[in-house]
Amino acid sequence: MGPAASDPPLVALHNRITSCRRCVDRGLLGAATPILPAPVLAPVVLVGQAPGRLEVESALPFSGRAGKQLFRWLAEAGAGPESEARRTIYLTSMTKCFPGPASSGSGDRRPSTEEVSLCQPHLDGQLDILRPRLLLAVGQLAIARYLGVRPMDQLVGRVFDGSGRELEVTLESVPPSTGAPWVLPLPHPSGASRWLNQPGHRSLLAEALARMSLLLAAISRGCPLK
């Protein structure tokens, strides 16, 4: 995958997101701090949960510790080093602003249902413009948005179509895209997540990265749309 070019409609959408104050006006956030990637048309979109404190400081998506782990996974799947992955993968999240620390004192607060709902038009707008070939859903909040609420061990390591139907992805056979993106779920890379500590879950992550590698290669080859 080569680097993508900046896109005027996406630039306009970014400007609208940057000026958004919906959650502040509802009293859900004290301040609006939207964090966005470069406005480029990339064939892969990664959707996480929400920016963290370090992302607010750097104004760069996935620049914290969890982001570093995520980029290691992407590199293992063939997306290249972080600098290359940032040019070829559009990095966004369910909500665009830092939700604040968790009340437990460990990690960040999970965005509320109302925050997700208020921010959904922004995410939908991003996907409408980008029309990605592959959507990487990272963490339970993003996975539930595209695949419903199901146990993670029934999802990670597999690939799905836009309706949630599992697809067969092998070295010999990559399913054609039907207009909706392939959906590949990944666990949250944060150290606060304990999912990867459970037996067998790391092998599911390895299967997910292997399938991601096949899909990225198909995109690079220009695998045709149906």
Q: Is the pLDDT of residue 70 over 80?
A: yes
Taking the C-alpha atoms of 171, 85, 186 and 223 in order, what is their torsion angle to the nearest 10 degrees?
-30
pLDDT of residue 163: 87
Q: Is the pLDDT of residue 1 over 60?
A: no
- The C-alpha atoms of residue 124 and residue 132 are separated, in whole angstroms, by 12
| Residues listed for the chain | 226
Single pTM value for the model: 0.92
Helix (H) or strand (E) holding 85: helix 82-88
pLDDT of residue 121: 98
3-state helix, strand, coil in the chain (%, to 5): 40, 15, 45
Where is pLDDT greater, at 105 or 30? 30
On whether the 8-221 domain is CATH 3.40.470.10, my answer is yes
pLDDT of residue 224: 47
Mean pLDDT, residues 3-17: 86
223 confidence band (pLDDT: 50, 70, 90): low
pLDDT of residue 225: 42
Q: Where are the domains of the chain?
A: 8-221
> Collapsing DSSP states into helix, strand and coil, what is residue 108?
strand
**191 token code pair:** 């150290």
pLDDT of residue 41: 93
- The C-alpha atoms of residue 223 and residue 226 are separated, in whole angstroms, by 10
pLDDT digits (tens, 9 = 90+) for 182-191: 999 999 997 6
Q: Is the pLDDT of residue 178 over 80?
A: no
Instruction: Provide the angle, in degrees to the nearest 10, between the axes of the packed helices 8-18 and 113-130.
Output: 170
- The C-alpha atoms of residue 139 and residue 133 are separated, in whole angstroms, by 20
For the sheet containing 166-167, what is the strand order? 89-93, 44-48, 134-138, 182-186, 159-160, 166-167
pLDDT digits (tens, 9 = 90+) for 75-129: 999 999 999 999 999 999 999 999 998 887 777 899 999 999 999 999 999 999 9
192 confidence band (pLDDT: 50, 70, 90): low
Q: Within 13 Å of residue 121, how many CA atoms lie on the same side as its CB? A: 7
- The C-alpha atoms of residue 158 and residue 105 are separated, in whole angstroms, by 33
Q: Which of 95-99, 111-115, 133-137, 148-152 has the lowest mean pLDDT?
A: 148-152
